Structure 1
Amino acid sequence: MTTSSPPPSATFMEMRAVLARLPGPDEAARAKVRLRQADLTKPPGSLGRLEEITEWLAAWQGSSEPRCRRPRVCVFAGSHGVVARGVSAYPADVNTQMVQNFVSGGAAINQLTAAIDGDLRVYEMDLAHPVGDFTQGPAMDEARCARAMAYGMMAAETGIDVLCLGEMGIGNTTSAAALCLALLGGQAEDWVGPGTGVAGAALERKIETVRLGVERHRAVLDDPLQVLAALGGEELAAICGAILAARMGRIPVLLDGYASTAAAAVLQAVDPHALDHCLVAHRSAEPAHAALCARLGQKPLLDLGMRLGEASGAALAVSLLKAACACLDGMATFNRAGVSGPV
């Protein structure tokens, strides 16, 4: 399904107000799940991260019976003016072409969503009007960025068990790298990778583009939302909005790869606990993603050498959530199974 209706109006003041009242985890639900895990027919902790997943789901769903029956997969598609600088191996026309591929069911994410019995939504973010080249000025003004965030918030509807967030946007790993450099420091080379497959002179142009962009907007680097507007894209802003709405609606979030995680980093720069309801689904093959995850305190669930985007890694990780819930729900306790517990 594609959603392309006009985004609602919003302001950064409204977004900051949401960030100021983010709900915390349900620790009672987490504790109940932890107690049940200890009573199941297995050595303590032997299911490793599957046990952590059920506790995390319980805390953020607010239920001692976590579930993963209704996953939603969201792909936000945006267009970047910085592509004109030759930072990608593909032309900007691919954005519209890929959205049509999603709609017709021909993309990888269509197959992966079907495999988890998920609900795929594709959100087209004004592809006919790319955000600006951030080396020449802000990618977006505050109004456009806040509208994109508000648009993303519409993805977190009542009844969803987990929200998988991904993107499509030629040039957005350039924006992602610029966001990381602006928010986390270092050198442009630390955050820039091949993206769609650039190398040699094209990779050098990409590095220089990120360096120039962050230098141009140095005056706003102390305000993460202004950094998002100056260097980001509409699809990255929408991911931020979806993360916030999911938190308010008690919906756990799976983040996809480098671009999605870079977008989320904006929120963590505002509030160190803004991503507590999020897990990074997989470690992207984009070289800087591992460093970004480490800086955010995230340990990706999967590492399959993927770098596709499209929420592909997030959709795959849903299978782990389903497996974790199945073990919690279906395993017998020591008493029920007649198995001797630990001595």
Structure 2
Amino acid sequence: MEQSRYIRVRFLGKGTYGEVHLYTDTQTDTNVAIKTIKVLQEGEGIHFTALREIMILQELIHPNIIRLHDVFYKNSNINLVLELAESALNDVIHLTSDESTTKGLLKQLLEGLAFMHENSVMHRDLKPGNLLISRNGQIKITDFGTAKIVCDVEAPRTTGVCTLWYQSPELLFGTKHYGKAMDMWSVGCIFAEMINKEPFLKGNTSIDQINKIFNTLGTPGEEDWKGMNILPNYWPSPASPRISFVRAFPTASNEARDLLEKMLMYDPRQRISASQALQHPYFSTGEPHASCGDIARILSNYIR
């Protein structure tokens, strides 16, 4: 594909492994986002994270997953031409004040994630900054630089993935044997943030993060999380009671709080899956979920 067809407009932001700019595609007269991933050194070839991201995005075609249009090379860098989504959830999370909007956005996120998990892909870094919203009100899961194709559930995996505030307890305790449930913990943290308009668990270090979790959800025992004490980085913690979700999330419905609790189960084997979450009564009772059109109208004054 001719590189000259794309004209750079402005800088948009940084992904896990590259910068993202807004470009105009002169052949289609539309705007696109181009993510530039730098090679490690001249002559070393394509960075494996770029290959992984390209491969995954070519396979995962879904309305709630960012679409890869094209790939080209320039100045020894690989460039991913992606569909444009004008804003990120973390920029507009203050607008999710009513249950209908929160429910609509969460439903889209879960639909995209359920599709990923059904196709054996873990994202491993879900957070509001990696959830874009298009002009037509669709959530777009993006930044697959740390995503992983799950071939063997028992195989050891890389640690140190996922942004700290959205990192599951099993990762904080250093397990290398984790699965798709780690993404659902991240979704729970995002859901809590949409309800209260601020990050739910804001630790400064891994130890501080696990303390924040225990001081909020209560210190787990063996009955809550079997095998916790044999994880590589486990350390005993003082007993701390669980806070009341009614007090912590006063604006949320009972169904919302119940779903949130199921997302934030300590034992990953007991954590609700994305497909199960979509069947939760939260989505079939109370306020109906906002449509893409509803969300687009709410966000119309805030999209850049």
Same fold (TM over 0.5): no
Higher strand share: 2
Higher helix share: 1
The TM-score range, normalised by the shorter chain, is: under 0.3
Higher relative contact order (CA 8 A, sep 6+): 1
TM-score relative to the length of structure 1: 0.22
TM-score relative to the length of structure 2: 0.24
